[in-house]
């Protein structure tokens, strides 16, 4: 009888231990609790990528169980290749993300020396926004036609591999514009140099221009002369409402070859703020980040903040953005040769 009671007591103890263990497992704190997530960004502080990353850093945490701190770390004037290699080799723990330069695919297409990243292997979180990119010219160039008639080369400041180089180089080829592109300028440096009259023009997003060239635009000292436009629900493009009278690149008369190349190169401007993580991130953490990303971009508070800063928040899910970039990096050799002709070989 005594033995039976001992067995019963032991069984009860084991049962209680199992229950306590179960409760302790259920009460395990969320992975992101007490953690810090870093979003690296291309370009300089205050630029377009930085602005979108900070918007997400402010609003995403409340949609993540554990509410981690999210910080933004601009990579400054580093090349697109450096940022691509950085995220490719980052620890896949869900704590390191990159607001990726949307022209990064060009470096992979050209097989540029030093490229160690593969966009098809990255963990895609989604796309945060879109911007119309345009050429901003200083006086006396007020229209594209006046730019066309320029006899002397017009100096454009740019950073290698970025949209600031891509758009003037593309239009120089497609429209026969007389541009001299000078590399080595960061985003902020370009806009300051234009305001001081050291450059004739720059390529920049509408949002960045109205943040950093507000006075010059309002007084007419600089002006947009052409823009890429914003995507429409029907798959077309429309002018940015802030510069609604500025013509679209796609409305220009071009050769069939130039049209095809323009569509390819400007295609990435449908999704200008992609957020990615390194290859091999755990599925549960990837799911948490993707869901928080989409919920944050639907938050009225985030949308209100975006509107105040003239930002076009455009949430695009991970599957759509990944499929889109997969198509961009799979081009025939003939197209790659055209790209190398305009933007230089790898």
Phi, psi of 111 (to 5 degrees): 55, 45
Beta carbons within 10 angstroms of residue 92's beta carbon: 16
- Encode the chain (346 residues) as per-residue pLDDT tens digits: 555 554 455 555 555 555 555 544 455 789 999 999 999 998 778 878 899 999 999 999 999 999 999 999 998 766 778 899 999 999 999 999 999 988 788 888 888 888 999 999 999 999 998 888 899 999 899 999 999 999 999 999 988 767 788 899 989 988 999 999 998 887 778 888 888 889 999 998 888 888 888 899 999 999 999 999 887 766 678 899 889 999 999 899 888 888 888 877 777 777 889 999 999 999 999 999 999 999 999 999 999 999 888 888 888 899 988 998 888 888 888 888 888 887 776 5
pLDDT of the residue at 40: 96
The model's pLDDT over 181-237, given as tens digits with 9 standing for 90+, comes to: 998 887 778 888 888 889 999 998 888 888 888 899 999 999 999 999 887 766 678
For residues 277 and 96, the answer to whether their CB atoms sit within 8 Å is: yes
Residues 216 and 157 in one domain: yes
Residues 153 and 113 in one domain: no
Residues 146 and 259 in one domain: yes
pLDDT of the residue at 137: 96
Which strand (E) or helix (H) includes residue 155?
strand 154-158
Any idea what the Cα angle at residue 65 is, between residues 61 and 66, rounded to 5°? 80
Which strand (E) or helix (H) includes residue 41?
strand 36-41
User: Domain boundary residue among 206, 241, 268?
Assistant: 268
User: Domain boundary residue among 238, 268, 298?
Assistant: 268
Structural domain span for residue 101: 36-131+272-343
d(CA 228, CA 143): 15
Of the candidates 94, 57, 87, the one whose C-alpha atom is nearest the C-alpha of residue 72 is 57
Burial of 256 (0-12, 13-18, 19+ CB in 10 A): exposed
Residues 262 and 138 in one domain: yes
pLDDT of the residue at 211: 81
pLDDT of the residue at 7: 46
- Please tell me the number of Cα atoms within 13 Å of 94 on its side-chain side: 19
Residues 332 and 221 in one domain: no
d(CA 341, CA 346): 10
Task: Report how many domains make up the chain.
Answer: 2
pLDDT of the residue at 64: 97
Residues 201 and 310 in one domain: no
pLDDT of the residue at 332: 86
CATH of the domain at 157: 3.40.190.10
Beta carbons within 10 angstroms of residue 146's beta carbon: 12
pLDDT of the residue at 234: 65
Beta carbons within 10 angstroms of residue 207's beta carbon: 23
Which strand (E) or helix (H) includes residue 5?
helix 2-26
């Amino acid at each position: 009888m005594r033995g039976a009671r001992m067995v019963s007591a032991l069984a009860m103890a084991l049962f209680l231990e199992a229950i306590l263990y179960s409760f302790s497992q259920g009460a395990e704190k969320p992975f992101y609790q007490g953690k810090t997530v870093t979003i690296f960004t291309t370009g300089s502080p205050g630029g377009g990528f930085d602005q979108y990353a900070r918007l997400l850093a402010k609003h995403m945490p409340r949609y993540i169980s554990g509410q981690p701190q999210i910080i933004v770390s601009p990579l400054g004037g580093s090349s697109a290749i450096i940022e691509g290699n950085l995220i490719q080799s980052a620890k896949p723990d869900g704590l390191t993300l990159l607001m990726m330069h949307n022209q990064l695919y060009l470096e992979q297409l050209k097989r540029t020396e030093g490229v160690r990243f593969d966009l098809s292997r990255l963990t895609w979180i989604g796309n945060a926004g879109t911007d119309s990119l345009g050429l901003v010219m200083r006086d006396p160039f007020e229209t594209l036609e006046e730019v066309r008639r320029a006899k002397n080369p017009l100096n454009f400041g740019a950073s290698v591999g970025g949209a600031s180089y891509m758009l003037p180089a593309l239009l120089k080829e497609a429209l026969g514009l007389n541009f001299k592109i000078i590399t080595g300028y960061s985003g902020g440096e370009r806009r300051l140099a234009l305001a001081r009259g050291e450059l004739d023009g720059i390529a920049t997003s509408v949002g960045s221009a109205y943040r950093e060239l507000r006075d010059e635009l309002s007084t007419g000292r600089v002006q947009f002369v052409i823009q890429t436009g914003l995507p429409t629900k029907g798959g077309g493009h429309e002018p940015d409402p802030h510069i609604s009278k500025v013509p679209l690149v796609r409305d220009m008369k071009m050769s069939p070859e130039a049209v095809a190349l323009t569509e390819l190169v400007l295609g990435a401007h449908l999704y200008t703020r992609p957020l990615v993580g390194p290859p091999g991130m755990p599925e549960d953490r990837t799911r948490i980040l993707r869901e928080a990303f989409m919920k944050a971009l639907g938050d009225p508070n985030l949308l209100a903040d975006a509107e105040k800063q003239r930002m076009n928040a455009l949430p695009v899910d991970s599957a759509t953005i990944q499929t889109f970039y997969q198509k961009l990096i799979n081009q025939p050799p003939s197209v790659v040769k055209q790209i190398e002709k305009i933007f230089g070989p790898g």
